[in-house]
């Protein structure tokens, strides 16, 4: 168990270049708690995960060598429903990262008012070092190690960095074989042919676009005159950019890990391939100008969407950001210190737990489809996602207006109030 690791995190630590997801998540919780009238004991409980599983996952490599990898599953809180969150395969996966990310999942599900709590897990491994066969063996063994703590009513994993729909299919198959019954609801993000939902893949990017569109309207701008820069042209970034482009915005810059392309007159986003679609295509695209990823963040645009990795907006560059609005596509792209600078500068930041929550929302739709054994059409998924995003947006907007707080504080107020009220109502036993 890794609780002791999380206890060691110092909330007053100030080195933000190494700010862990757990440190950021705890700072955000502490700040949110000052805005709401909730029992301090409940807040104390929410600083800690309910459980953290740490498992050894033996893997037989294709050459016959045996390697023992370490896997985790952090379960933060399930007061409102089963734990929910991704499984990532990445060399830097560790207990604290999983705990911090699982806390964000608790808030994300609560902001969206879906009946799930927060979970996150993964294996410390470089996914590029795995053949398909190795990845399948690793995933099946990981599913076996986690079998007692996951399940449609307990904890429902999903794809994350380094994992995909196929990984979820193996996980679901391994779990189902041991249960003796096909159990599609044990994971989401599966291929539609085995109970996955249409529209799940593009959902986080689509929700980023929906929330950006609402924010543009809220600030009384015209979407046709709005310029947008998107860092990271992967699943989230490309889907967000293409939807905004379709709705009339000028997407003037996008990037992948190799760099950014820039056209002040707007890019044709359908013509730009994402890094995953064709590596090197973003930076290799024939655009009038190029920029580095760092320069993209400081472009003179109306909206900046960081949709690649965490901690890219820091105290070092927050003063140089020229955008009038930041919408977080990635999880945790803004450090706590950068957030404070943006607040002082009057630049609104719409947080990840609202903006990219379309992913977990369509995961919830998938879980409902699995339980009911009935598939929804893509149109229905889009309509229901739109409606859920607007409800969440309106709940958060009301807090912004009534309390004159930032968008992040408002989203936390909505989420924490829902989670804390559920905890107070259920009480503590024994
Ligand atoms: P992805 O792998 O599909 O795309 C990531 C993109 O970022 C690629 O274009 C890649 O080239 C680029 N990139 C990678 N490292 C970079 C760096 N250091 N600087 C600039 N660009 C870099 O990933 P994704 O699924 O789009 O996820 C992006 C972010 O959104 C992550 O923070 C993820 O946690 C978050 N997110 C993803 C989902 C989802 O379901 N896919 C849901 C919610 C949040």
120 classed as catalytic: yes
Tokens read off for 407: 């968008």
Question: Which of these, 155, 216, 142, 156, lies nearest to 362 by C-alpha position?
Answer: 156
Please tell me the distance from the alpha carbon of residue 237 to that of residue 231, in angstroms, as a whole number.
Answer: 7
The pLDDT value recorded for residue 222 is 98
Domain boundary among 326, 354, 382: 354
The pLDDT value recorded for residue 282 is 79
Q: How many domains does the chain have?
A: 2
DSSP 81-145: SSEEEEEEEETT--HHHHHHHHHHHHHHHHHTT-S-EEEEEEEES-GGG--HHHHHHHHHHHHHH
Question: Is 36 part of any domain?
Answer: no
Question: Is 38 part of any domain?
Answer: no
Task: From the CA of 308, give the closest atom in ligand 1.
Answer: 7
217: domain CATH number?
3.40.50.720
63: domain CATH number?
3.40.50.10860
Q: What is the pLDDT along the chain (430 residues), one digit of tens a residue?
A: 333 344 333 344 445 556 788 988 999 899 999 999 999 999 999 999 999 999 999 999 999 999 999 999 999 999 999 999 999 999 999 999 999 999 999 999 999 999 999 999 999 999 999 999 999 999 999 999 999 999 999 999 999 989 999 999 999 999 999 999 999 999 999 999 999 999 999 999 999 999 999 999 999 999 999 999 999 998 999 999 999 999 999 999 999 988 999 999 999 998 887 756 666 667 678 889 999 999 999 999 999 999 999 899 999 999 999 999 999 999 999 999 999 999 999 999 999 999 999 999 999 999 999 999 999 999 999 999 999 999 999 999 999 999 999 999 999 999 999 999 999 999 999 9
Question: Is 196 part of any domain?
Answer: no
Question: Is 98 part of any domain?
Answer: yes
Please tell me the distance from the alpha carbon of residue 397 to that of residue 388, in angstroms, as a whole number.
Answer: 14
Under 8 Å between Cβ of 103 and 33: no
Question: Is 341 part of any domain?
Answer: yes
Q: Say yes or no: 293 and 334 in one domain.
A: yes
Q: 330: Cβ below 6 Å to ligand 1?
A: yes
Q: Whose CA is nearest to atom 15 of ligand 1?
A: 257
Q: Is 228 helix (H, G, I), strand (E, B) or coil?
A: strand
Considering the entire predicted model, what is its pTM?
Answer: 0.94
For the segment 144-186, what is each residue's pLDDT rounded down to a tens digit? 999 999 999 999 999 998 999 999 999 999 999 999 999 999 9
Question: 158, 161, 298, 309: which to mutate for ligand 1, most atoms within 8 A of CB?
Answer: 309
Q: Which domain range does residue 297 map to? A: 202-354
Question: Is 401 part of any domain?
Answer: no
Tokens read off for 394: 């309106």
Q: Say yes or no: 104 and 139 in one domain.
A: yes
Question: Is 372 part of any domain?
Answer: no
Q: Say yes or no: 106 and 178 in one domain.
A: yes
CB atoms within 10 A of CB 168: 27
Q: Say yes or no: 130 and 259 in one domain.
A: no
Domain boundary among 123, 152, 183: 183
Q: Whose CA is nearest to atom 20 of ligand 1?
A: 257
The pLDDT value recorded for residue 271 is 87
Please tell me the distance from the alpha carbon of residue 68 to that of residue 46, in angstroms, as a whole number.
Answer: 32
- Integer-rounded Cα Rg, in Å, for the chain is 21
The pLDDT value recorded for residue 21 is 86
Question: Is 429 part of any domain?
Answer: no
Cα of 332 from ligand 1 centre, angstroms? 11
Cα of 233 from ligand 1 centre, angstroms? 7
Q: Say yes or no: 214 and 147 in one domain.
A: no
């Amino acid at each position: 168990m890794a609780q002791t690791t999380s206890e060691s995190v110092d909330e007053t630590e100030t080195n933000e270049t190494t700010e862990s997801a757990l440190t950021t998540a705890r700072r955000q919780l502490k700040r949110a708690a000052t805005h709401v009238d909730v029992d301090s004991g409940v807040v104390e409980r929410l600083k800690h995960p309910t459980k953290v599983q740490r498992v050894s996952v033996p893997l037989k490599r294709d050459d016959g060598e045996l390697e023992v990898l370490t896997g985790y599953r952090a379960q933060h809180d399930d007061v409102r429903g089963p734990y929910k969150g991704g499984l990532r395969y990445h060399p830097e996966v560790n207990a604290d990262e999983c705990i911090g990310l699982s806390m964000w999942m608790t808030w994300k599900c609560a902001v969206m008012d879906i009946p799930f709590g927060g979970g996150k897990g993964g294996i410390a491994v470089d996914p590029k070092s795995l053949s398909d066969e190795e990845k399948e063996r690793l995933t099946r063994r990981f599913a076996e190690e986690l079998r007692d703590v996951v399940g449609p009513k307990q904890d429902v994993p999903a794809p994350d960095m380094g994992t995909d729909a196929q990984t979820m299919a193996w996980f679901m198959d391994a779990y189902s074989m041991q249960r003796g019954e096909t159990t599609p609801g044990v994971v989401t993000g599966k291929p539609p042919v085995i109970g996955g939902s249409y529209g799940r893949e593009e959902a986080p990017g689509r929700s980023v676009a929906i929330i950006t569109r609402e924010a543009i309207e809220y600030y009384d701008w015209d979407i046709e005159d709005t310029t947008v820069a998107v860092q990271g042209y992967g699943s989230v970034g490309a889907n967000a950019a293409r939807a905004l482009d379709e709705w009339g915005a000028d997407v003037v810059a996008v990037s992948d890990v190799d760099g950014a392309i820039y056209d002040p007159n707007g890019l044709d986003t359908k013509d730009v391939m994402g890094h995953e679609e064709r590596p090197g295509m973003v930076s290799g695209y024939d655009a009038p100008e190029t920029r580095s990823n760092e320069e993209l963040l400081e472009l003179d645009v109306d909206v900046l969407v960081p949709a690649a990795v965490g901690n890219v907006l820091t105290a070092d560059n927050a003063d140089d950001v020229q955008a009038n609005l930041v919408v977080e596509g990635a999880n945790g792209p803004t450090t706590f210190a950068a957030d404070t600078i943006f607040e002082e500068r009057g630049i609104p930041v719409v947080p990840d737990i609202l903006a990219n929550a379309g992913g977990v929302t369509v995961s919830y739709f998938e879980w409902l489809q699995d339980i009911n054994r009935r598939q929804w059409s893509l149109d229905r998924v889009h309509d229901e996602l739109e409606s859920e995003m607007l409800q969440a947006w309106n709940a958060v907007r009301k807090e912004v207006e009534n309390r004159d707080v930032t968008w992040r504080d408002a989203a936390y107020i909505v989420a924490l109030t829902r989670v804390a009220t559920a905890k107070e109502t259920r009480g503590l036993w024994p």
